[in-house]
Structure 1
Amino acid sequence: MKHYKKIFQKEKKILPYIPTPPAKTSSLVCPINVDLHNIGIYVRDIHGQTSVELALQFKDKLEEFINVLKKFPIHRSHAERRFVYKMMKTMPDLSSQLTHEDFKALSRNITAETWLKGTTVIANEGFYIILKGSVRPRCKVYKKMIEVMSADFFSEPPSEYSSEEDFFQENPLTEYRSLMNPHYVILGPWNGFGTLIELPEPKMGSNFYSLIMEDDCELLKINAKEYAKVKEEQAKIEKLTREQLIHKCPYYRNWPKLSVDELTVHIKWRRYPPGHVLVTDGEIISFVAYIQSGFCKVYREVIGLMKYQLRKMKKKRKRVFMGKLQEKESFGEISVLLQIPFTCTIITGSEVELGVIDAEDMLVLSKVSVTGITCIDAIID
């Protein structure tokens, strides 16, 4: 066994070493790569484009934006309309008070106006965004911002002011833009002024919402009347959507319009992910829900006997699948109106959008008839 390895083991042959010839050196000095010592290259790689490059890029986009706005809306391509929409979304004064639907509607027909140096604009009938040039306010109040509301068509219209004195007496600490020395303030590109809510004509000699052009300016204008039409159209569509949501539920199809209108006023839209528990068996539900999209799974909690040892049984609670609630169906009416516990558990089976009416609002309604409402509780029973 000692000689076993020697029988099959072969000696490794070591080949002779072939030296490599030395590299030829030149008498000339090799040029130094200047870029290796340029810190700006490495900073650009880490932080992206420099502020100068970003400014030039923004200037090019702004020129393109103005050229697109100079076209008639009907002559703009789909890509140009999309470009206008994206540029408007970057304007702080618009994004803070317009919704996604507002941007989509207004960007279709928005245009730019050219104002010569020295001319005066009274911005009581529209909201302006400066695209090129500079503007100097002549008054303390030159911008009126509105709040973005989820149910604008049910909200009350804002109050109107005919002078600066009325404004400051009524709103001493509001979010409006007020300046102690307006003559020393200059507004530049992407700044806004004016109002989206039409105001009455200022009094003779008043500088209310008055601004003067310091240069030849290009202004984007949103007319207050056009904005009001957009909100009115959105309100009609929203109201129709809510009415359809109620009427398409099987047990509301024969309801009179007056009763349905009372329900639609209180509907709030909510979204839930899959697997979210909406209602638990034995609880009094705090809302009435109408399914706009998606579906929910219905389970009943049952108690059964389970054998775990010889001749021994124990009780165990188990969830039994009862069915699904699909689109245009509702649940929760009986539990809310009669204040009785819910008889099943409802879990979202997909992403669900619900039209929800809180229990407090449902109980206040005068036209709701308890006997005319049927819900999932009665079906399961």
Structure 2
Amino acid sequence: MPLKTASHISQLDGQRITGINYSQLRALCRISGRRDGVISQSSEEAHEEFMNSYQKIFLRPKKIMPAIPLGKIRTPPSLKAVESQASQERSRSQSQGKQTQEILISHAIKALKKIPIERIQQDLQAIHKVLKIFPCFTTQLSEEVLHKISSIAIVETWERGQIIYGHNGFYLILKGFVKPYTYEDSKEDQKMVAEMLVQDYAMKRSLIQGCQFYLDWPKVSIDHLAKLIQLRTFPVNQVLVKEGRVCPFVAYICEGECSILQDIGSLINPAKKKGGGIKSVVVGRLGPMESFGEISVLQDQPSPCTIVTATELEAGIIQPETLQGIDPVTISLMLQTAQPMCGKLSQEEKYKEYKRQEKSKEWDHIKKQVLSDALFYNGIRQGCGKWTLNRGPGKTTDK
């Protein structure tokens, strides 16, 4: 079979030819049974092998795949970049979680400063969420117990260097830190702690005896109450007892004062007795070495008046549940000793006292307004000097 050279063949079957593969050509020429002459013919086997193999002698150009624009390729991020991004997300999440926790604790502290009977549902929920932050609670206490603790827990502030005894309950540290104090191995430390306990007990005992109506009490009964007292500090303007509700505790005032208030809204406007705002009159004061709450707690009676702290108050209090196991003689003495908190003012006297107090408030307001106007008229402003007169913009005259 005659062959054409690469110079005469530029295309084969529509495909471009670039040259001849001579090693394949020599192999093709060595096929057994093939004949080059016109008279003699190749065998069928040689002809079939030749037809299947002759395409291999032609060299064709390599196919070039179309290029992909580099701008459209997204390079996968490196492992370091992925770890950095994950770290930033964790830090952001932790920061947001810490901020949320601080807001929650702040709300819980405000709620704990209220007496339990004044707390609303949102206050109880905030306290409950803070309690669940502590694993020691969630692993050992049920939800029912946590809700109960939320309704009776209170907040206390201790100064540096004070010793805190946990025999009356447990404490959660919301701010600051404490250091455990052990004294089992030191006789001197045992002696010091014993002296402190004696002094603490003596102070509680003298607090009760200092009250005017407890002076003649027997020592045994005073000792019974002294063992139940807990010392507390209350801020200014905190409602300790609310009119129409049972007192939350019996209190013995050590330092500070309380105002005794009574609602007289029905006397001023009987038609607006409900929902018209509370009109209260100060009917009395309570000071050091005075007590309140005995009758309300022991006989489960609503208080006839409201008691609000007029100054910061230091007092010893006795919780109602601790009085349940006290002996009948001491209870009887407490009921006989307790005095009415609201005095014996008639309705007319209360109304007159209310009018007097309102006039006093109005007069104080007028005096402050006149003084403020006089200072403003003379150009005396805070931070500008006592004798500086401002007669216009940019003009200042010193007397």
TM-score (normalizing by structure 1): 0.41
Asked which structure has the greater CA Rg, the reply is 2
Between Structure 1 and Structure 2, the one with more helix by share is 2
Q: Which structure has more RCO (C-alpha within 8 Å, separation ≥ 6)?
A: 1
